[in-house]
Chain A
Amino acid sequence: MNVLIGIIVPLGILFSVLTVAAGLIWLERRLLAFWQDRYGPNRVGAYGLLQPLADAIKLMFKEDWVPPFSDKPVFILAPIVIVITVVLAFAVIPFAPGIVVIDLNVGLLFFLGMSSLGVYSVVLGGWASNSKYSLLGGLRASAQMLSYEVFMGISVMGVVMMAGSFNLGDIIEAQRIGWFWIPQFFGMVIFIIAGLAETRRLPFDLPEAESELVAGFHTEYSGMKFGLFFVGEYIGITLVSAMIVTLYFGGWLGPFLPPIVWFTIKTFLFICGFILLRAAMPRPRYDQLMSYGWKILLPIAMANLLITGALLLRAM
């Protein structure tokens, strides 16, 4: 029985995560279109729902070109890394009581570690392409990750202090008395911003920056390798949304509906929020991004950590 659950749950999570990532391609194109007064893809199947399938078929049959000037093994490995790291990070997310792949007691650290490893994919992809635009994209990605990783870690520490645990399940249980986004408001805002930067989405898509760097780190990629970068990005959005829900919005907690439904609804809302940000925000300049991170967000995260710690000590 336990073995069976041990097989079904990971496979189910893997399947749903990959399906959601595919569906997001459709969702994002539709929503962006609506916010730009268009319809978006609505021809393939009902409401264009089969669009991801058409896209996938197209990507599969495109020429899978490895540039002769590239560093071949690394070039091929890079897109795989991003998908593996984000999918692995899903292992610690508790979707509902009992529905989690591994109940790690350092789950949060595991998530942080995996999301930092993900940047290797971008940096190595940019490096191995052996082209100036790709390299610039990779450089930007590494600098962006370095700076935003710092206060992403610091911002979640407030939650850890309040819950007294790194285990994501325990963190959700600790929110029965009240979701953490109210006491940890600044922590939440910073985590969302850092999460955006982590997934390299607009307004933080400087590593990609179509209008400046052709396509940034994946300029030289084509076919399904390019597709993997995209799948990685979409799973990344789902992952960060799930993390925001877990850490600040009570995870599966909620009245009436079953826990898994609550978790799905909340995650879905945050995914739509990410897409809305993409529709509404311009891309900052590179130096603006850096100074914003180090001069504004880092001090706020520090202050948040200090004040939370002080208040908790006083309460004890």
Chain B
Amino acid sequence: MLGTLRSIWNVFLHLWHKKETVQYPEEKPYLPPRWRGRIILSRDADGGERCVACYLCAVACPVDCISLQATEDEHGRRYPEFFRINFSRCIFCGFCEEACPTYAIQLTPDFEMAEYKRENLVYEKEDLLISGPGKYPDYNFYNVAGTSIAGKDKGEAENERPPVDIRSLMP
């Protein structure tokens, strides 16, 4: 009986407790930097597209909502011809970001992407591509990868020695 009365009193005191509610549209919640929200495609520090159209993200995606088509530029550098993410299916699991070898695809702290039409949730490459490097400002895949592209031959990457001429007898 006393316990009941005490619990009634304690509940009454909650009138003056701080409210848990976040008054959302006026008051934005804090989202940590690694929060998994709207997906973007980033660029290198020098402005080149990072994505090499390797399809790893599309394979990793558990709901198959990424679709892209690889193509090559005149120097043989791969890039996606189109890159499409269907956000009405995406579950924001972040597997695509984990799978990406070039840090091209990244999830950002933004969830305000409601639409009146479902088709508008399909984002094309121009909607996804941003002008900056995203979460990894200094990373450039071709600066650490061994392949040669236009303007960088084999052996010119960071921490890389010039290739050994296997036909020469000189040490």
Contact = CB atoms under 8 A, between A and B. Distances in A.
A280 B17 contact: no
The binding surface of chain B is classed by DSSP as helix
Interface size range on B against A: 10 to 19
Interface string A118-145: 0000000000000000000000000000
Q: Count chain A CB atoms within 10 A of each CB in B10, B12, B18 and give the residue with the most.
A: B12
Interface string B1-36: 000100110111011011111010000000000000
A35 B12 contact: yes
A276 B11 contact: yes
Taking residues whose C-beta sits less than 8 angstroms from the other chain, chain A's interface range is 10 to 19
A interface, over-half SS: helix
Contacts of B4: 281
A65 interface: no
B19 A35 contact: no
B11 A34 contact: no
Interface in A257-286: 276-277, 279-281
B20 A281 contact: no
Contact of A37 (B7, B8, B12, B18): B18
A47 interface: no
B23 A39 contact: yes
Nearest to A203: B4
A279 B11 contact: yes
A277 B21 CA distance: 23
Interface string A31-52: 0001111110000000000000
A281 B8 contact: yes
A136 to B, nearest CB: 27
A39 B8 CA distance: 19
Contacts of A36: 14
Contact of B15 (A35, A39, A277): A35
Contact of A34 (B7, B8, B14, B23): B14
Interface string A1-39: 000000000000000000000000000000000111111
Contacts of A277: 8
A280 B5 CA distance: 9
B129 to A, nearest CB: 37
Given A35-B15, A279-B11, 14 more contacts: A34-B14, A34-B15, A35-B11, A37-B14, A37-B18, A37-B20, A38-B19, A39-B23, A276-B8, A276-B12, A280-B10, A280-B12, A281-B4, A281-B7
Interface of B: 4, 7-8, 10-12, 14-15, 17-21, 23
25 contacts: A34-B19, A35-B11, A35-B12, A35-B14, A35-B15, A36-B14, A37-B14, A37-B17, A37-B18, A37-B19, A37-B20, A37-B21, A38-B19, A38-B21, A39-B19, A39-B23, A276-B8, A276-B11, A276-B12, A277-B8, A279-B11, A280-B7, A280-B10, A280-B12, A281-B8
